[in-house]
Structure 1
Amino acid sequence: MGPDPQTDPQRVPEGTSAEHDPSLLSGVGAEPAPSRVPKVALWAGIGVVVLAGLYVGAQWALADTVPTGTTVAGVDVGGQSSAEAKATLDDQLGPVAREPLPVELAGTTTSIDPAASGLTLDTRATADALTSFSLRPQRLWEQVFGGTDRPPVVHVDPDELRDGVEGAAKSVDVAPVDGTVTFSGDEARSTEASAGTSVDVDAAAATIRTKWLVTEPPIVLPSHPTEPDVTQDETDAALAVAQQVVSAPVVVEVGGQRAELPPDALGDSASFPAKDGDLALTWDEDALVAAVDDRTKDLESSPKDAHFVFVDAKPVIRGGTDGASLDPDALTKAVDAAATSDDDRTATTKLVPVEPEHSKADLSKLGVKDRIVEFSTPLTDDAVRTQNLRVGAAHVDGTLVEPGKRFSVTDALSPITPEAGYGQAHVVTDGRTTDAIGGGLSQMATNTYNIGFLAGYESITHKPHSYWYDRYPAGRESTMYIGQIDMVWENDTPFGVLLQAWVSGGRLHTAAWSTKYWTVTSHSGPHRDVVPTTTTTDTSAGCTPQSAGNDGFTITVDRKVSRAGKVDKDEHKTWTYQPENAVVCK
């Protein structure tokens, strides 16, 4: 299709000349008409600049003014300057930020100290965030149409906040409850297990961080359940075992006897303590042994220690027989198997021999074979005093002092009471003669001291009398007083020492049987620095007159103890006796 003669400017209709039609030349060689587009763009640009200037100016003018209606954690600061907003927050929100913060878990409330927990309110930063210059359209919008509630700026120390949450958790955590199984008589009982609730520390710290001062307290802390160590399933399983234990009696067969343990006796002996999350059946071995003993006759017997006795004044070993006893472990295993059985509730066990602490063989090895030393002192004419020494001799006679052990005269003679056979006789107290239970027993202290002295044993403690009595060797004697003064020596040999004591021929006799180990030499020096006796007058109500005794003096006693020519002890002991003055009562 060819060009349209009415629209195509390049085509001219036939029979027509351009020269004769001026309209055809109207646009040829003329200037184009001016365009309006640049003017519109110019004015549009000017408008944008003006509007931007107005926008920036408005933002700048309102930069230090908090938008009307703005609140921070419920505190109205709208229309205030930055300084005014800070002052308002300091006045109204500051005290709240210093108060303890209530927190809650499972209905239990406690509180944390914000400052101690690393929570700090920054009112300056909060006010600045509300008033500082910004080109955000939202800010201008809020200035025109009103602000909203804004969160305060808070600084947090994560470690301190965690510590604060952990401290609060101790008050609000709900501990799980383990299930239990117990016995009441012949009945098995249980208590239910229940889960606990514990604060989720990390989540709680995050919650407090975002809700402090913003949310009405108390703040509910996130938590997680904590399971008990002993669950309900474990409790139910243990209860089934417990019910089986007390379902019927258990018969124990031992030593030719039968002991029927009723359900209540089984319940008294059994328990289900929690261990590693389990309730395990546990037996009280002592209770089981007692239950069997109570239902048998003379089933168990005690061993009899071997001991020395004197026959024809010589030591002989007697006793040393085994006893018989239930084996607690074997008994427990047998009862456990029977009590948890569905059918056979018979427990069979055996008695086991119990050896004595000291057997005949033990004593035979001690080397008690020879009388290595003996010592005696004369008696007085006081019959009660002599009787006290007879009783004391019976206590000391047969006393065995094993190697490395000590002999104490007060231990050997005790108890010094009338019930033990002791009577009232003369003693010296505070320099005066009076009567007391066990008077005269210091003579046994002197005799046994000399046994240790002559045998070469280690002297541990002793104290001579205040006055010298010539029935004793001067400086080689000892007094005693229960609870205050004792005479003790130690058997420092590898052999046992068996003491022998008796009263005869007007003398108190003592001897030691052993194997000679030490060689002893001794020497008593002269009486020196003698102080003659005098007469004193006593006007007290309890005065007892007495005649003068021996003069006072000082003496030194030497002892050298050796073995195979080598000296082991080289002693020099000095003692000063007081004069025993006569006493006249007025």
Structure 2
Amino acid sequence: MALVAGAAGVGFGGLYLVGLLASGDDVPAGTRVSGVDIGGLSRSQAREKLDSSLGGAWSEPVKVRLGDSDGTVQVSGISVDSKETVARAAGAGSDPFTVIGRLFTSGDRDVEPVIRVDEAKARASLAEEAKTYGRKARQGAVAFHAGEAMSTQPVTGRSLDVDGAVDALASAVPGQGEPVRLPVRTTDPRVGAAEVNRAMKEFATPAMSAPVTLTVGGREVEIGPATLGKHLAMKPDGANRLAPVLDGKGLLADPALASPLAPATDEAVNARLRLDGGQVVVASDGKAGREVTAKALQKAVLPLLTETGAARTGAVDTENVQPKLTRDNVGRLGIKEKMSTFTVNFEPAPYRVTNIGRAAELMNGSVVLPGETWSFNRTVGERTEDNGFVEGIIINNDQFEKAAGGGVSAVATTTFNAIFFAGVKPVEYGAHSFYIERYPEGREATVAWGSLDLKFRNDSGNAIYIDARATDSSVTITFLGTKKYDSVEAVKGPRTNVKQPATREGASGEKCVPQTPLEGFDVAVDRVFKDGGKEVGRETFKTQYVPRDEVTCD
């Protein structure tokens, strides 16, 4: 038995040796790597063949599939390691059973290639593809424009999973059949197409189908789709349903509604005050008013928007509004003395008399409660013919020209000085571009509708009453309230950075206004606060004036 076993062992070993000698250092016959036959080749020959066949697999654009779309990507940093692949192919058949088996069979076998990946290079090469392919999710939406409802259909967001794409490209040798499928991530919009279609059908389209009519104090006021649409929106609620939102405040201020609504409402009128021997007294009582609130307007309008025909008419409630200032609360509001007063004199001219007088009229009686911010533009309004203003002389692009509201800067300058000497906080102000001789240097202001306002915040701790009066040659602004300081003084510094004017021709036509030359300069004015005769604070106002060029007109 021992002899038989020994003979068998010698026979097995002999066959293994014969198999090794037969194959030598070659790659076993029938060996393929990604479809490339390298069987029977020496290692060096096999490497050359792999380099020739697979070495450029990732150097050319690679066919890929992203979602439902096919395309190509240029990728770097991924390659076949032919040396290690051949070593794997040769070594995989060196065990005794495989070697002996090859003596009696010619079976084929596939060997996976060894892939080398430079992660940084591969990710960088895919970054541009990720940028091109990616898109943000777009929410479905409904908007209103020019009296029409408009829908925006949702779009699913998508992005390339770069790390996953590198793994996918490294796991599949390009050109071996189907495109390499790269992993992508998708983001569904919260507001989908079904919700957009529902919102359009149930609300948006009916809302813009016809005007709505409101009854206010026995009057009818019609609001057309174009006006409604400017103040109407649909926004996602907590359940991502598009819900209508009406900006009642904006709609209430819209001229298309404010003008016809005005006769049906009454503004509250503040009590009028005056100084009598240094004491503040009530000159006339205040008067309650009635108004439509933004909340009441929303409540009345929204239900009408989905109705048809006569059902698009409804009533809107009005509310009593008490004036800020009454005979009863003057004392409680702290309006007890003169805080400041200032007068600007001007050369009489019809446009100045009209515009300055109108601005003073609109300002007179204003009450600014503690903490409130007062605005010249909000109080006086736009300087238009409808608001009682006429064409006059203004400064535009550093020269005089004609425009509506000219001369109003005299009121702005007077008000600025009342603010200055009352010791309250200026919030927004701006000087004229060049100096005007009738105003104090560095203590003057101008205004421009839509671009420059004059504002102050009432930080005095008590209410402020603004008394504004104009004559044919002067305007006076007085602040009544409770003084913050015993006195406020102005200390002006010298002119610096003086620049000489030039001479130029003005604009052609009737709007050209000649002007005399005046140097430009910088100036600083200190506002000095005093209590008990001692300085308790100081702040500096700096102003830069450009030269006022001499302008001639044809």
In structure 2, C-alpha distance between the alignment counterparts of 1:463 and 1:253, rounded to whole Å: 45
Show the counterpart of 1:331: 300
Q: Which amino acid aligns with 2:291?
A: G
Distance in 1 (alpha carbons) for counterparts of 2:436 and 2:128: 76
Give the whole-Å Cα distance in 1 for the aligned partners of 2:140 and 2:456: 60
With over 3 angstroms needed to count, the CA separation of the structure-2 counterparts of 1:355 and 1:559, relative to structure 1, is same
Contact map agreement 1:104 1:218 (CA 8 A) in 2: yes
**Distance change (3 Å), C-alpha of 1:57 and 1:323:** same
Larger RCO: Structure 1 or Structure 2 (Cα < 8 Å, ≥ 6 residues apart)?
A: 2
Q: Aligned pair in 2 of structure 1 residues 153, 286: CA closer, same or farther (>3 Å)? A: same
Cα distance, 1:90 vs structure 2: 2.0
Distance in 2 (alpha carbons) for counterparts of 1:448 and 1:191: 50
Distance 1:409 1:234, change over 3 A: closer
Deviation at 1:127, TM superposition (A): 0.8
Per-residue deviation, 1:560: 6.8
Corresponding position of 1:392:
356
Deviations 1:491-510 (CA, angstroms, capped at 9, x unpaired): 76434143343448xx7473
Worse overlay, 51-60 or 174-183: 174-183
| Residue 351 (structure 1) aligns with | 317
Show the counterpart of 1:501: 469
Distance (whole Å) between structure 2 residues aligned to residue 181 and residue 489 of structure 1: 40
Equivalent in the alignment of 2:520: none
What CA distance in whole angstroms lies between the structure 1 residues aligned with 2:221 and 2:348? 60
Q: Does the aligned pair in 2 maintain the 1:188–1:242 contact within 8 Å? A: no
Matched, 1:66 2:27: yes
Secondary structure class of the residue paired with 2:292:
strand
Unaligned runs of 5+ in 2: 495-501, 507-513, 517-524, 542-554
**What letter corresponds to residue 84 of structure 2 in structure 1?**
A
Deviation at 1:249, TM superposition (A): 10
Query: Contact 1:250/1:339 (CA < 8 Å) preserved in 2?
Result: no
Instruction: Tell me the distance in 1 between the aligned counterparts of 2:366 and 2:109.
Output: 96
What letter is aligned with 1:392?
A: I
1:113–1:44 CA distance, 2 compared to 1 (3 A) = same
CA drift at 1:148: 2.5
Is the contact between residue 214 and residue 313 of structure 2 (CA under 8 Å) also seen in structure 1? Answer: yes
Partner of 2:267: 304
Which range moves more in the overlay, 47-56 or 64-73?
47-56
Q: Distance in 2 between matches of 1:231 and 1:515?
A: 58
Match of 1:123 in 2: 82
Q: Please name the residue that 2:10 is paired with.
A: 49
* Offset at residue 218 of structure 1 (A): 1.0
Matched, 1:88 2:49: yes
- Deviation (angstroms), 1:94: 1.2
Counterparts in 2 of 1:169 and 1:303: CA distance versus 1, 3 Å: same
- Structure-2 separation of matches of 1:463 and 1:182: 42
Match of 1:10 in 2: none
Displacement of 1:147 after TM fit?
5.4
Structure 1 CA distance, aligned partners of 2:105 and 2:51?
Answer: 27
Q: Which amino acid aligns with 1:219?
A: V
Q: Deviations over 1:275-315 (max 9, x none)?
A: 6776456465759989xx99xx8599455143465799985
> What residue number does 2:114 align with?
154
* Structure 1: gaps (5+ residues): 1-37, 529-537, 547-555, 574-586
Number of aligned positions between the proteins: 482
How far apart in 2 are the matches of 1:86 and 1:162?
A: 28
**CA deviation vs aligned residue, 1:231-258 (integer Å, no higher than 9, x gap):** 8988998899679979x99999966879
1:103 alignment partner, SS class: strand
CA deviation after TM superposition for structure 1 residue 123, in Å: 1.5
> What TM-score, normalized by structure 1, do the two folds share?
0.53
* Alignment partners' CA distance in 2, 1:171 and 1:495: 61
Shift of 1:488: 9.4
CA distance in 2, matches of 1:414, 1:399: 15
Which protein has the larger Cα radius of gyration, Structure 1 or Structure 2?
A: 1
Percent sequence identity is 20
Letter in 2 for 1:121: V
Change (3 A) 1:212 1:175: farther
Confirm or deny: 8 A CA contact 1:103 1:218 kept in the other structure: yes
Moved more, 89-98 or 51-60: 51-60
**How far apart in 1 are the matches of 2:273 and 2:324?**
18
User: What's the offset of the Cα at 1:212?
Assistant: 3.0
CA–CA distance in structure 1, aligned partners of residues 232 and 375 of structure 2: 46
CA contact (8 A) 2:130 2:160 kept: yes
Offset of 1:324 from its aligned partner? 3.0
Aligned counterparts of 2:131 and 2:167: Cα–Cα separation in 1: 18
**2:86 is matched by which residue type in structure 1?**
A
In structure 1, give the amino acid aligned to 2:80: L
Q: Structure 2 vs 1, CA of residues 189 and 77 (structure 1 numbering), >3 Å: closer, same or farther?
A: same
Q: Specify the SS of the correspondent of 1:80.
A: coil
1:69-218 → structure 2 map (5 Å cutoff) = 69-104=30-65, 107-111=68-72, 115=76, 120-132=79-91, 134-142=94-102, 146=106, 148=108, 150-155=110-115, 211-212=172-173, 215-218=176-179
User: Could you say if the C-alpha distance between residues 82 and 194 of structure 1 is closer, same or farther in structure 2, counting changes exceeding 3 Å?
Assistant: same
* Alignment CA distance shift 1:51-1:561 (3 Å): closer
Partner Cα separation in structure 1 for residue 379 and residue 392 of structure 2: 17
Which secondary structure state, in structure 2, belongs to the residue aligned with residue 126 of structure 1?
helix
2:352 maps to a residue whose letter is N
What secondary structure is seen at the aligned counterpart in 2 of 1:499?
Answer: strand
- What amino acid does structure 2 have at the position aligned with 1:129? R
Aligned pairs (5 A) from 1:385-534: 388=352, 392=356, 395-396=359-360, 398=364, 400=366, 402=368, 420=389, 457=423, 480=444, 482=446, 493=460, 494-503=462-471, 508=474, 510=476, 512=478, 514-515=480-481, 517=483, 518-520=485-487
Amino acid at match of 2:486: T
CA contact (8 A) 2:464 2:480 kept: yes
For 1:468 and 1:272, the matched residues in 2 are separated by 51
> Out of 281, 284, 297, which is 1:316 matched to?
284
Give the Cα–Cα distance (whole angstroms) in 2 for the partners of residues 521 and 180 of structure 1: 57
1:3 matched residue in structure 2: none
TM-fit CA distance, 1:82: 1.4
CA distance in 1, matches of 2:505, 2:185: 86
Given the superposition, is the C-alpha separation of residues 130 and 410 from structure 1 closer, same or farther in structure 2, using an over 3 Å criterion?
Answer: closer
Q: 1:424 to 1:203 in 2, by over 3 A?
A: closer
Q: Is the 2:142–2:199 Cα contact (8 Å) retained in structure 1?
A: yes
Give the deviation of 1:351 after TM superposition: 1.0
Rounded to whole Å, the distance in 2 between the matches of 1:440 and 1:251 is 42
Whether the 8 Å CA contact 1:181–1:272 is kept in 2: the answer is yes
Take 1:288 and 1:488, find their aligned partners in 2: how far apart are those partners? 22
Report the AA paired with residue 290 of structure 2. Answer: D
C-alpha distance 259-204 of structure 1, shift in aligned 2 (>3 A)? farther
- Amino acid of the residue matched to residue 478 of structure 2? A
**Are 2:416 and 2:445, in contact at CA under 8 Å, matched by a contact in 1?**
no
